[in-house]
Structure 1
Amino acid sequence: MDTIEYTKFSGQPAQRAAGLAQLGCASADGRTRLQRLYQDGSAKIRLPAVSADPLEAVLINTAGGLTGGDRLAWEVDVGANASAAITTQACEKVYRAASDHAEVRIELTVGENGRIAWLPQETIVFDRAAFARTLDVDLAEGAEALVLEATVFGRLAMGERAAQGSFRDRWRVRQGDFLIHAEDFRIGPDIAATLARPAISGGAIAVATLLLVSPRAEALLDPVREIIGDQGGASAWSVRASGKLLARLYAGDSYQLRRRLVPLVGLLNGRAGLPKLWSL
């Protein structure tokens, strides 16, 4: 875990939040069961009672949001033939940074024929925020993953827009010994001006990327495109013995984005459907 750092602000030392949470689960007696749970600092995990797979986990940042200098890490290990769905208690808020930047590190590992659905609620970026996130997914042969990250630059309902700031998002997904997906997204310092470009989002402030690694990927492409409509796009490829579907969406605000994410996640997550904490 990263060491807690301190920064001078208005002449007083400001304590920065740090947290690390680790969850391990395995298949036993026909069910996915908790194997290991570790929590430190502001990172907490709660496990709602469920009657069948997947095992559900809710991530909580007790710091109430992130700002410059904060460090948060989530690590999830899903064993062979096990299944887990991970979401968050609420939207993560990234506030204005007086100095430095906030960091979130995510590591997901899935064993042979296991499955993970990484479905956090939206990240809300405030004006002059500075944020960097890394997402590393390691899949064994035959494993499946559904990965979502949605970001909203400001809150129009509150009259707030992220005009300036820095946002970085790095994904690396491997299956076996092969890199099957990689992307790096960066925006800033002129966030609003960049989003206003027609080739970016035409002024839309809510965006989402959704990745499905599964043999079902190509068969789901047409219904995915129907849900997305003309504000986004999707493509699918064969990847080794599996498949990959990548979808990107944008909308004028978080409500309009969620209206399409709800049926999209419901479709791609199969019988598991939506996380219980999701609501329009």
Structure 2
Amino acid sequence: MTNHLANLEPQRVSARAELSISHLHGRPRLSRLYQEGAAKIRLPRVDDGPLEAVLINTAGGLTGGDRLHWSVDVGTMAAATITTQACEKVYRAGDGRAEVSCGLSVGAGGRLAWLPQETIVFERAAFSRHLDADLGDGAEALIVEATVFGRRAMGEAVGHAMFRDRWRIRRNGRLIHAEDFAIGPDVAGTLSRAAVTGGDIAVATVLLICDDAPERLEAARAIVGDEGGVSAWSVGQSGKLLARLFATDSYTLRKRLVPLIELLNGQAGLPKIWSL
């Protein structure tokens, strides 16, 4: 008897979700929500402050061939905090790579805090992420991405994998921040270099775009300490603060990442789900 199941192609994730927020009657309001496939968005009740949205990948992780797209539009004078239900896991890729794209826009005078929980990369994973943001006049954005290459507490290690992360941030169409981070296939060898992390496996990038970003430089440096760095400057009409952190594991990383987010996110602080 022929085993037809052996000839079937593995099912892949192809999902997208879109969220739009408006400023109405003195507070941020949901104006549009679209969900397709494994991409879901939930909106916890928040009495005041920014609208809070939680992104969920119901597939439980990503592997080669998966495609996931998030789109967030924060309207004029609106404010939103976007996070994830849990850490995103990128598993071993048998073929191809997992791809995630994030399209963010913030209208004039609006504010967006993009605060997903950590991405956990497993051995032999292949992953690519593109993050594109366009800000209007006076708009502010706090963008955080943290990555952990294996979970030491679980006895996991990542020797070989492919990881790509591309950011493009614009104000009114003008490029004000660009970076491309790439590591692999020899992840362990690269991280072991003193000029990279000296063997630490948890890393984070934190970017704040707002007029007074440079004024928070010294306070941010006091939090980050020697295991990372912080710089601040102005690009055109935009103030910018950029921090990079590294640590031995995600728990140790969070001990500095959490207070840094609280410093840079003002009264909005940390998403509630981060403390669950």
TM-score tier, shorter chain, comes to over 0.9
Question: How far 1:10 moved relative to its partner?
Answer: 6.1
Q: 2: CA distance between counterparts of 1:160 and 1:279?
A: 24
Aligned equivalent of 1:274, options 241, 247, 270:
270
1:97 aligns with 2:87: no
Deviations 1:54-105 (A, max 9, x none): 0000000000000000000000000000000000000000000000000000
Distance in 1 between the 2:192 and 2:169 partners?
30
Aligned-partner SS, 1:137: strand
Give 1:177 shift. 2.7
- Distance in structure 2 (CA, Å) of the matches to 1:63 and 1:34: 25
Percent identity, aligned pairs only? Answer: 65
Match of 1:240 among 231, 236, 239: 236
Amino acid of the residue matched to residue 213 of structure 1? I
Task: Classify the secondary structure of the residue corresponding to 2:254.
Answer: helix
Counterparts of 2:171 and 2:8, CA distance in 1: 47
Structure 1 distance, partners of 2:253, 2:131, is 22
Secondary structure of 2:144's aligned partner: strand
State the number of aligned residues: 273
CA distance in 1, matches of 2:241, 2:202: 21
TM-superposed deviation, 1:216: 1.7
Q: Which residue of 2 aligns with 1:64?
A: 60
How far apart, in 2, do the equivalents of 1:257 and 1:192 lie? 18
Alignment of structure 1 residues 251-266 onto 2, 5 Å: 251-266=247-262
State the distance in 2 between where 1:170 and 1:132 align.
Answer: 8
**1:179 and 2:185 equivalent?**
no
Which whole-Å deviations, capped at 9, do the CAs of 1:98-119 have from their partners, x for residues lacking one?
A: 0000000000000000000000
Distance in 1 of aligned mates of 2:269 and 2:154:
31
Counterpart in the other structure of 2:166: 170
The one-letter amino acid paired with 1:206 is A
In the alignment, what sits opposite 1:218?
Answer: 214
> TM-score of the superposition, structure 1-length normalised?
0.96
* Structure 2 CA distance for aligned equivalents of residues 152 and 11 of structure 1: 35
- Identify the match of residue 246 of structure 2 among 246, 250, 258: 250
Give the equivalent residue in structure 2 for 1:207: 203
Counterpart CA distance in 2 for 1:206 and 1:10 is: 38
Question: 1:239 offset after TM fit, Å?
Answer: 2.1
Whole-Å Cα distance in 2 between the matches of residues 96 and 107 of structure 1? Answer: 26
Distance 2:266 2:212 in 1: 10
Superposition deviation, residue 160 in structure 1? 0.5
Which amino acid counterpart does residue 271 of structure 1 have in structure 2? Q
Mapping 1:1-280, distance limit 5 Å: 11-279=7-275
* TM-score for the superposition, normalised by structure 2: 0.97
Shift of the alpha carbon at 1:240? 2.0
Alpha-carbon distance, 1:276 to partner = 0.3
4+ runs of 1 displaced by more than 6 Å? none
| Stretches of structure 2 lacking an aligned partner (at least 5 in a row) | none
AA in 1 matched with 2:273: L
| Long gaps (5+) in structure 1 | 1-8
Give 1:261's aligned amino acid.
Answer: L
User: What's the C-alpha RMSD, in Å, of the aligned pairs?
Assistant: 1.3
CA distance in 2, matches of 1:17, 1:176: 33
The residue identity in structure 2 corresponding to 1:148 is V
CA contact under 8 A between 2:134 and 2:173: conserved in structure 1? no
